[in-house]
Structure 1
Amino acid sequence: MKEPIVDIKNLKKYYGKQRGIEDVSFSVQEGEIFGFIGPNGAGKSTTIRTLLALLKPTSGSATIFGKDCIKHAAEIAGDIGYLSGEPSYYENMKVKEFLRYSAELYGKKNTSRLDELAERLQLDMNRKIEDLSMGNKKKVGIISALLHSPKLLILDEPTSGLDPLIQQTFFQILREEKEKGTTILFSSHVLSEVQKLCDKVAIIKEGRIIDTQSITELRKNGYKKVSIVTENPLVREDLDLDGVADLTISNGNTSFIYMGPVVELLSKINSFPVRDVFIEEPTLEEIFLHYYQ
């Protein structure tokens, strides 16, 4: 098996006595789209910033392309495209000035890639950065990360602020990058994004990795938020089904989070005098709260 593009082992980062990350270990193989998921404040950005040598780890190790992230940070940087979760730029510059400046830093003088990405993401390059909305500033960051054709893309919450149509275009761009052989690591707190795009995911909570799964495994045991309205109130014993958590019963309304085979869930629901049923995707916060306490 090839050496992983990203390899993190027992990474810890403390700010004085305050926990950043406690024990983070995972690896990303070449050509993978790897999702790094967890609630806000779980430690995703701290891990990424440490990986990029923007923060010095308290202990543990991390390598990119087989090279130590701290010792060889400058050497590694040229082959990485990075999007910060909260990007900030030279506010007085026009978009095209900033992006051309970014391209020149990587030795790229051909602006055809820049123009193509700006058109696809519907970004007006003649506007000043200070006049842009958060969503348009995020587009600037996405283009800046992509325009030098990096071997590794590291994206921290890349879709926050993007409207749904632009999100779909962005996802397509990432799929195209994957087809070229680019390795992609991105953090998110939106489970649906991860399920659409990723080959594998690492789940972080309170600074620790609590699970690493292939997306096939995640889909097989997909989480569902279920609400049932019945003619007669149910009791807890009615829901004798493995994988039920956070069960709440109020009059004829029953709600719970379910992880397991959908066929078993539907069979159980069908045994009740159901007036209505709602099945939707729970938030990651709901999943973590009830499955990883």
Structure 2
Amino acid sequence: MSILDIHDVSVWYERDNVILEQVDLHLEKGAVYGLLGVNGAGKTTLINTLTGVNRNFSGRFTLCGIEAEAGMPQKTSDQLKTHRYFAADYPLLFTEITAKDYVSFAHSLYQKDFSEQQFASLAEAFHFSKYINRRISELSLGNRQKIVLMTGLLLRAPLFILDEPLVGLDVESIEVFYQKMREYCEAGGTILFSSHLLDVVQRFCDYAAILHNKQIQKVIPIGEETDLRREFFEVIGHE
């Protein structure tokens, strides 16, 4: 079952500065997709378009049956917000409230009930329990990023979008997140995971979508025998 269809999307910042050109991509429910590309390929630009940060685009995308295009009504934009959750490479949070208050507030925005028990259980898995009632301003970058990731895992929006989200996390927390990410998909969620790290995508994703020369050039199913490095450099033409 399709969760996201991107059709003919082009993005530009100036008339002669086209970043993405006629991008097409199809995401199925319950899978982890790695969005791969070299630095500057346009991964963040595509994600910013899907998350509503960038509204200067042509073409369209459909998320959970809701069609989005430039100039869409505010009502449509509001509908899209509750069907996706975005974790950026740097955690942008209200810093003068506690971690628990932030997660609770996010649930209210998504019109979902906040379960303190589920939050406490997830916080324990991330070794975050002692920080639950701390002000975010007192927390390290890694712990702030844990708040962002835990919020997304608890909200269970149909599409969880991540843009290089592991900044500041220790190895154990990364492993916990990948385990929870897999559980998220097994429950019916879909994840779009932007990265330039081939080994990360190889290990944790079901598919790799390679963005190069302003377009998605290839979507590769990932299995035990997949040589993603070879596939990637065959597409971009060098190593």
Q: TM-score, normalised by structure 1?
A: 0.71
Determine whether 1:86 maps to 2:90.
yes
| Larger relative contact order, structure 1 or 2 (CA cutoff 8 Å, min sep 6) | 2
Contact 2:90 2:165 in 1 (8 A): no
Aligned residue for 1:148?
A: 155
1:115 is paired with a residue of what secondary structure?
Answer: helix
Q: How many angstroms does 1:289 deviate by? A: 9.8
Structure 2, unmatched stretches of 5+, are none
Aligned residue for 2:41?
A: 42
Measured against aligned partners, the alpha-carbon deviations of 1:233-270 in whole angstroms (never above 9, x if no partner) come to xxxxxxxxxxxxxxxxxxxxxxxxxx49xxxxxxxxxx
Contact 1:195 1:219 in 2 (8 A): no
Give the greater-gyration-radius structure (CA).
1
1:161 is paired with a residue of what secondary structure?
Answer: coil
1:112 is paired with a residue of what secondary structure?
Answer: helix
Q: How many angstroms does 1:210 deviate by? A: 2.5
Q: How many angstroms does 1:29 deviate by? A: 0.7
Structure 1, unmatched stretches of 5+, are 224-258, 261-283
Alignment of 1:216-231 (within 5 A): 216=223, 219-223=225-229
Q: How many angstroms does 1:40 deviate by? A: 2.6
Contact 2:49 2:57 in 1 (8 A): no
- Cα RMSD between the aligned structures? 2.4
> Given the superposition, is the C-alpha separation of residues 222 and 98 from structure 1 closer, same or farther in structure 2, using an over 3 Å criterion?
closer
Q: C-alpha distance in 1, partners of 2:5/2:37?
A: 19
Alignment of 1:4-19 (within 5 A): 4-16=2-14, 17-19=16-18
1:85 is paired with a residue of what secondary structure?
Answer: coil
Q: TM-score, normalised by structure 2?
A: 0.86
Q: Which amino acid aligns with 1:220?
A: T
Contact 1:12 1:23 in 2 (8 A): yes
Q: How many angstroms does 1:67 deviate by? A: 1.6
Alignment of 1:1-293 (within 5 A): 2=1, 4-16=2-14, 17-70=16-69, 71=72, 72-106=76-110, 107-123=112-128, 124-216=131-223, 219-223=225-229, 259=230, 287=233, 291=237
Contact 1:31 1:182 in 2 (8 A): yes
Contact 1:34 1:199 in 2 (8 A): yes
> Given the superposition, is the C-alpha separation of residues 54 and 213 from structure 1 closer, same or farther in structure 2, using an over 3 Å criterion?
same
Q: How many angstroms does 1:24 deviate by? A: 1.9
Q: Which amino acid aligns with 1:194?
A: V
Aligned residue for 1:263?
A: none
Measured against aligned partners, the alpha-carbon deviations of 1:79-137 in whole angstroms (never above 9, x if no partner) come to 32221222211122221221221122223132222222222112222322223222212
Q: C-alpha distance in 1, partners of 2:50/2:185?
A: 21
Contact 1:83 1:141 in 2 (8 A): yes
- Number of equivalenced pairs: 230
Q: How many angstroms does 1:203 deviate by? A: 0.8
